[in-house]
A and B are shown apart, each in its own frame.
Chain A
């Protein structure tokens, strides 16, 4: 129990101290997960719309793939992306392995099925007459999609929050493709793994509490700007 107390006070001390090394890790965490979430929303939401209202071959298969993606194990994503980014791998010439960009890529891969899945189920729950009306008025597929996303904005807000949650909580893949390098690719979750393996449980716990506070703030923020559900 003493450890929990140490973790809690440690978290407060970390935040108050504004130690540059700690602030840098927090900034990198927000940068990587924020960018990954942005990409996940930009790709996942249109995909979700397409799955809900699109009529194209392979839609059902794609839908099953997206649902499977909701449970995509991050370590597998990490392993595959690592092998692709290896010097000897097909994308080795890009020299992206052990950089924050590689971490953005893996977090985007695990987060975008979340954004797609939630958007899709939200639109499928809409009154089908709305879509019929749009089509009657001659709206094209892009216009239709846009109007449907506007009609489900609270749920799209929720999809964004969920995608962010999946991205920022992810550790296995970020550890593999980032390498947890101090000053370059260390983020909160990988720092927690390192401090745990170093035996500094109080610091690991403190970092965990900071991570929770961040997730809480971002969720409150997204809630505050999302329209109230009607």
Chain B
């Protein structure tokens, strides 16, 4: 009897502690949602939140961490970042589950716009893809004249290739390159699929001493923990453009159109473009993304 009384008391104390803890956690959550120095009343209620569906590379590289605080300070909007890969990001946009997208698969994006799911689309930044592989380079990819030629050499040698096969922007480009090379790599014993993000795919390729296609930013982030090296780069086919797309509010009533547009216009603003231009220099000695504002601006649809 005494035992259970003690137990009951402790449970009550625990519950009280939990509630106190809940209050604290809730308040710190609230702090996170209200960046300091935000002019209150600029935006109100639900419309204060924007859901951004994005490719993983801009989150994994840390670019968003550099951009978002400025945007939140400037406008008072809170951005919920869902880093999922380009294919899923576009799919979330098609269903109106996201307000704005940051993606890198030009052909799929153009289809998205043509189907009327998007409203605004701006070029935000570019970087490039690289073909990486083991230092001893059994397929002589170093001698390749183009990205397509590199793939042909890998297929001819039967050297192991790791594909992400996750419908990300990188994966879509890889599939297109194989098509251009006139090779159907599926079902080949040297062609393995990881189904994972870029970083984990690089680690897998490194362990298997295989070749793979990577965006330069992720490769630089992983360079110190793997022994793969860049073997082919510079082909215009390997340019990697990132676009921001706002989801068409006429199709989905609940989309936060104002917030989405504010975010899209922020990304191509002078301030954001300067952040992008210098991002990564301190850590990798070179910038990971090239800003878009200076060279070209995609014509508005």
Report the separation of the CA atoms of residues A179 and B95 in the bound assembly, to the nearest whole angstrom: 17
B56 interface contact, C-beta 8 A: yes
**Contact among B22, B95, B200 with A88 in the assembled complex (CB-CB below 8 Å):** B95
Residue of B nearest to A226 (CB): B7
Are B18 and A38 neighbours in the complex by a CB distance under 8 Å? yes
Within 8 A of B (CB), among A26-42: 27-28, 30-31, 34-35, 38
Within 8 A of B (CB), among A161-181: 179-181
Residue of A nearest to B95 (CB): A88
With A28-B29, A197-B56, A201-B225 in contact, is A98–B18 under 8 Å at CB? no
**Contact among B21, B24, B97, B225 with A199 in the assembled complex (CB-CB below 8 Å):** B225
B10 interface contact, C-beta 8 A: yes
Are A184 and B80 neighbours in the complex by a CB distance under 8 Å? yes
B60 interface contact, C-beta 8 A: yes
Max chain A C-beta neighbours (<10 A), residue from B6, B46, B60: B60
Chain A residues with Cβ below 8 Å from B221 are 198-199
Chain B residues with Cβ below 8 Å from A27 are 21, 24-25, 28
Are A31 and B32 neighbours in the complex by a CB distance under 8 Å? no
A1 interface contact, C-beta 8 A: no
The contact size tier of chain A is: 20 to 34
A182 interface contact, C-beta 8 A: yes
Report the separation of the CA atoms of residues A194 and B14 in the bound assembly, to the nearest whole angstrom: 31
Are A100 and B29 neighbours in the complex by a CB distance under 8 Å? yes
Chain B residues with Cβ below 8 Å from A182 are 32, 65, 81
B120 interface contact, C-beta 8 A: no
Q: Chain B interface mostly helix, strand, loop or mixed?
A: helix
**Contact among B21, B26, B200, B252 with A30 in the assembled complex (CB-CB below 8 Å):** B21
**Contact among B6, B18, B28 with A34 in the assembled complex (CB-CB below 8 Å):** B18
Are A153 and B21 neighbours in the complex by a CB distance under 8 Å? no
Q: Chain A interface mostly helix, strand, loop or mixed?
A: helix
Report the separation of the CA atoms of residues A182 and B35 in the bound assembly, to the nearest whole angstrom: 13
Are B197 and A35 neighbours in the complex by a CB distance under 8 Å? no
The contact size tier of chain B is: 35 or more
Chain A residues with Cβ below 8 Å from B80 are 98, 179, 181, 184
Chain B residues with Cβ below 8 Å from A180 are 83
B40 interface contact, C-beta 8 A: no
With A87-B97, A197-B197 in contact, is A153–B32 under 8 Å at CB? no
B222 interface contact, C-beta 8 A: yes
A74-93 interface code vs B (CB 8 A; 1 in, 0 out):
00000000000011100010
CB distance from A20 to the nearest CB of B (A): 9
Are A197 and B199 neighbours in the complex by a CB distance under 8 Å? yes
CB distance from B60 to the nearest CB of A (A): 5
Report the separation of the CA atoms of residues A89 and B199 in the bound assembly, to the nearest whole angstrom: 33
CB distance from B221 to the nearest CB of A (A): 5
With A88-B97, A153-B7 in contact, is A197–B60 under 8 Å at CB? yes
Chain B residues with Cβ below 8 Å from A183 are 29, 32-33
Chain B residues with Cβ below 8 Å from A98 are 51, 80, 82
A121 interface contact, C-beta 8 A: no
**Contact among B18, B46, B199 with A95 in the assembled complex (CB-CB below 8 Å):** B46
Closest 8 CB pairs of A and B: A183-B32, A31-B25, A227-B3, A225-B10, A199-B222, A197-B199, A179-B82, A87-B254
Q: 5 new A-B pairs (CB below 8 Å) besides A31-B21, A227-B3?
A: A27-B24, A28-B25, A31-B25, A88-B96, A199-B225
> Would you mind naming 14 contact pairs between A and B with Cβ atoms under 8 Å apart?
A24-B32, A28-B25, A31-B25, A31-B26, A88-B97, A181-B80, A183-B33, A184-B80, A196-B200, A197-B200, A198-B62, A199-B225, A226-B7, A227-B6
